Amino acid sequence: MARHVEIDVDECVGCEACVEVCPGVFAMGPGDIAQVINPEGGTEEEINEAIEICPANCISWED
């Protein structure tokens, strides 16, 4: 599998920033925790922006 974006849900603080910058990939799920709804729903640039903006540093590329 190619590298893909993941959220460490234990660290997510539910700020919704990732959803705002990249709504095709991220959405808020149960418990106001973000989840990846479609790993291919956004551009690499959008995902990188979400990684940078996340205050909990819990979004990352994984192999």
> Contact residues for ligand SF4 (CB under 6 A)?
7, 12-18, 34, 54-56, 58-59
- H helices within 1-63, ranges in order? 17-21, 44-53
Question: Which one, 3 or 13, has the nearer CB to ligand SF4?
Answer: 13
Q: What residues form DSSP beta bridges with 35?
A: 27
Identify the CA nearest to 31 among candidates 52, 14, 56.
14
Question: Which one, 1 or 32, has the nearer CB to ligand SF4?
Answer: 32
Q: How far is the CB of 1 from ligand SF4 (least distance, A)?
A: 21
Question: Which one, 40 or 55, has the nearer CB to ligand SF4?
Answer: 55
Q: Residue 34 — φ and ψ, nearest 5°?
A: -70, 150
